Amino acid sequence: MEIPGNTELLTAREAGLVTCQRCARVWPLGTEECARCGSTLQSRDLGSLNRVWALWVAGLICYIPANLYPMLVTDTLLESSQSTIVGGAVEIAKHGSYGIAAIILIASVLIPVGKFLAIAYLATSVKRGSNTSAERRTHMYEVVEFIGRWSMIDVFVVAILSALVQLSVVASIHPGPASLTFALSVIFTMLSAQAFDTRLFWDRQEREGITLG
Amino acid sequence: MCYRARPWFVLPVYRVCCRVTDLDHTPLPYGASDLSELMACPHCDALYRARTPGWNERAVCARCHLVLIAPKRKAGIKIIALTLAMLVLLVAATFFPFLDISVQGFGNKASILDSATAFQSGPMALLSVAVAAMILVIPLLRMMLVLYVLMPIVRDETPFPHARRAFRLSQKLKPWAMAEIFAIGCAVALVKVADLATIGFGPAFWMFSALVVIVIFNDRYLCTWSVWKSLETQNS
């Protein structure tokens, strides 16, 4: 039920109100707690960028060992092999399953790296401004927030394989140290995205007088 | 506007339909009671006067297109029914055998609990705690919180004590409930070992699959704004 027409949209802040980001209720500016849902109220969360960057860095630091150390350790009768994320995908591709290799590469390399880049871009755009409209950036944020949790799929795959493939001498799979750092990296980037206050995009846009498309 | 006479899920819920353009900065032209008729988009802060939409209509923010209100007919009772079903499925799926594998006479069975506790050595145990939380504890907790909040509301009774806190917690935990992601993870894991071994599906596998479908439907029914509205009006 979108309403076309004039684009003179008033924000809650301009009306002297503060919005509850949890339940969308508005209160007079200066109210500290939402009386409807009990959340803490802040018209604009100016400290949010610091938290976004801190968690972003923590996520990136965890992501490096996640790629260097083995994700899975496979013991068979003859040998013990360790595979990293990329190494595992290459191995599968060598066996001819290009589709699965592609899925693994997209889920554990492309999406996490894309997420780091997207969050960094969004955070810098608040400080420096951007040619991209606030609407597009808000969409980008929503995509990052939606996709973020799905990176956890890798850790779950390791968990399932390690629990299932325990066939004494024939074959057994154990989790490698990278599964821990990869999980931490996903958790930190999720927290980083959640710390973002998207209302900051729109303020900047209004100040610069960019018209909405 | 009377909210108490009828349960919330058959009431028309507000639709965002007119922008507030005639507000002064100060002094505030609205008293506290009028403020409850306003709402603002949590993503872009655009201010709206909330109005009643029809069933299955959606109120979308004109500026950033976030869905603000999406009431569904009889959502409350549907959510309760689906949540009860999920509760039964999840508890049962936890203990029944999930998958089994066999190669050259060697075999093994794993339950979901085994998968969650697969990380055991040293600091990896932390990961077991996190995985168990994401695929079992948090989904279970959220289901119980939602039941706690919605049960009195659909019967048009006063909400249970701390219902607001319970609903807030359930919303906060939402991104961390990853049962459906675990289910897709199963599919990927199966593809990986399918060449090497024979895989059998236990009853828990099918329960978990059903659970994922219900989770997706259930999320569609829940309109958080409507729930907050009814918690506000029935609790005061």
Q: Same structural domain for residues A82 and A158?
A: yes
Q: Is B117 helix (H, G, I), strand (E, B) or coil?
A: coil
Give the whole-angstrom CA distance, residue B111 versus residue B182: 13
Q: Same structural domain for residues A58 and A135?
A: yes
pLDDT of residue A1: 41
Helices (H), B66-123: 75-95, 112-116
Chain B closest CA to A68's CA: distance in Å? Answer: 17
Q: Which of residues 95-114 of A touch B (CB under 8 A)?
A: 100, 103
Q: Same structural domain for residues A25 and A119?
A: no
A110 within domain boundaries: yes
A196 within domain boundaries: yes
Q: Same structural domain for residues A125 and A28?
A: no
A213 within domain boundaries: no
Check which CATH number belongs to the domain holding A155 and give it.
1.20.140
pLDDT of residue B168: 93
Q: Same structural domain for residues A135 and A101?
A: yes
Low-confidence ranges of chain A (pLDDT < 50): 1-7, 211-213
- Where do the domains of chain B lie? 8-69, 75-235
Mean of per-residue pLDDT scores for chain B? 79
Using CA atoms, how far residue B32 sits from A31, A35, A202, B29, B207, in Å, is: 12, 11, 27, 10, 49
pLDDT at residue B205 is higher than 90: no
* Domains held by chain A: number: 2
- Report ipTM (2 d.p.): 0.84
Residue B136: other Cβ atoms inside 10 A = 20
- Domain span holding position A27: 1-43
By C-alpha distance, which of A174, A166, A159, A156 is closest to B109? Answer: A166
Helices (H), chain A: 48-68, 85-94, 98-105, 111-128, 134-148, 153-164, 177-194, 199-208
pLDDT of residue A17: 87
Using CA atoms, how far residue A74 sits from A48, A77, A169, B143, B203, in Å, is: 43, 10, 11, 37, 28
pLDDT at residue B57 is higher than 80: no
pLDDT at residue B72 is higher than 50: yes
- Work out the average pLDDT over B167-189: 89
Give the whole-angstrom CA distance, residue B30 versus residue A153: 49
Q: Same structural domain for residues A61 and A156?
A: yes
Rounded to the nearest 5°, which phi and psi values hold at B107? -140, 160
Contact check, Cβ <8 Å, A37/B164: yes
Residue A42 at interface with chain B, using a CB cutoff of 8 Å? no
Q: Collect all residues of chain B within an 8 Å Cβ-Cβ radius of residue A167.
A: 101, 103, 106-108, 197
pLDDT digits (tens, 9 = 90+) for A150-178: 889 889 989 998 888 888 777 888 899 99
pLDDT of residue B21: 45
Q: Same structural domain for residues A14 and A77?
A: no
Chain B closest CA to A210's CA: distance in Å? Answer: 13
A85 within domain boundaries: yes
A200 within domain boundaries: yes
Q: Same structural domain for residues A50 and A84?
A: yes
A158 within domain boundaries: yes
pLDDT digits (tens, 9 = 90+) for B108-166: 888 888 888 888 877 888 899 999 999 999 999 999 999 999 999 888 888 888 899 99
* Beta-carbon contacts below 8 Å between A and B: 237
Q: Same structural domain for residues A39 and A77?
A: no
